[in-house]
Amino acid sequence: MSAVWLVTGAAGMLGQDVLARLAAEDLTAVAADRAAVDIAEPGSVRAAFEKHRPAVVVNCAAWTAVDDAESQEDAALRVNGTGPAVLAEACREHGAVLLQVSTDYVFAGDGVEPYAEDGPTGPRGAYGRTKLAGEQAVLSTLPETGYVVRTAWLYGAGGGNFVRTMIKLEGVKDTLDVVDDQRGQPTWTVDLADRLVRLGQAALAGTAPAGVYHGTSGGETTWFGFTREIFRLLGADPERVRPTTSEAFVRPAPRPAFSVLGHDRWAVAGIEPVREWREALAEAFPALVAAERR
């Protein structure tokens, strides 16, 4: 009997692509959305484990409303902190591997060199604090079978995101002002899903050490540079995109000025890091345009 993969948050943008990757690999997957499994409720998680007996759990469920987390930190913590803790305990009891998706927001965001997987964390907002709590629960409960994969600047065809928003705005705005003082790594959910599945397979094979990995694209850019590349791919004039500063877009939650992550740890698992961000965006783009304009 093949190993069962339980994907929580399966209806989300990343969860959809994880399921697609598992199907492409002919692996047995169980899709669990919020209605099927409440990851913060031990009874709900226990029932799912007893029914499906997963060998691997990929937790894509998350509170991702960064600004709302500032005023609703307890609610965000339930999903981002308590949920992973409950899943980790169930995985410990059943001998399962847990892949926990996390974020660049666990760092302070004031660096000048890519953050290493084992670098010091220091979240500056509620969202980052709640995600760090989830990381800590997974790593402490599952020192041998717990994996944290941090990502950032995600986009994909299966949900709302920055790329789809810019595609829409290009058609209705003469010019766009976009911040040029926040640096990061745009990452396609398809690429991240591939690495999650490969990491899970390596974990089952005993060839990937547990711990933290960084699942972001290679290279780096700003939101301004990212938008200009989107316009270029649309055949629009990139000069219509103008640089501005973060002060022009005041938000309840602080945004990291520097979200570039290092990718050294993949080598110990025998897995290549995610490719350069422009290459991925070019391949993803037709599906993103189709999704936004359908």
Handedness of CA 110, 114, 117, 120 (dihedral sign): negative
What is the rounded CA–CA span in Å between residue 68 and residue 74?
11
What is the rounded CA–CA span in Å between residue 94 and residue 50?
9
Beta-strand pair 146-151/97-103 = parallel
**Of these residues, 127, 147, 155, 213, which one is catalytic?**
127
Is 115 part of the annotated catalytic residue set? no
Largest CA distance in the chain: 57
DSSP the chain: -PPEEEEETTTSHHHHHHHHHHHHTT-EEEEE-TTT--TT-HHHHHHHHHHH--SEEEE------HHHHHH-HHHHHIIIIIHHHHHHHHHHHHT-EEEEEEEGGGS-S--SSPBPTTSPP---SHHHHHHHHHHHHHHHH-TTTEEEEEE-SEE-TTS--HHHHHHHHHTT-S-EEEE-S-EE--EEHHHHHHHHHHHHHHHHHT-S-SEEEE---BS-EEHHHHHHHHHHHHT--GGGEEEE-GGGS--SSPPPSB--B--TTHHHHT-PPP-BHHHHHHHHHHHHHHHHH-
Which residues are part of the catalytic machinery?
Answer: 127
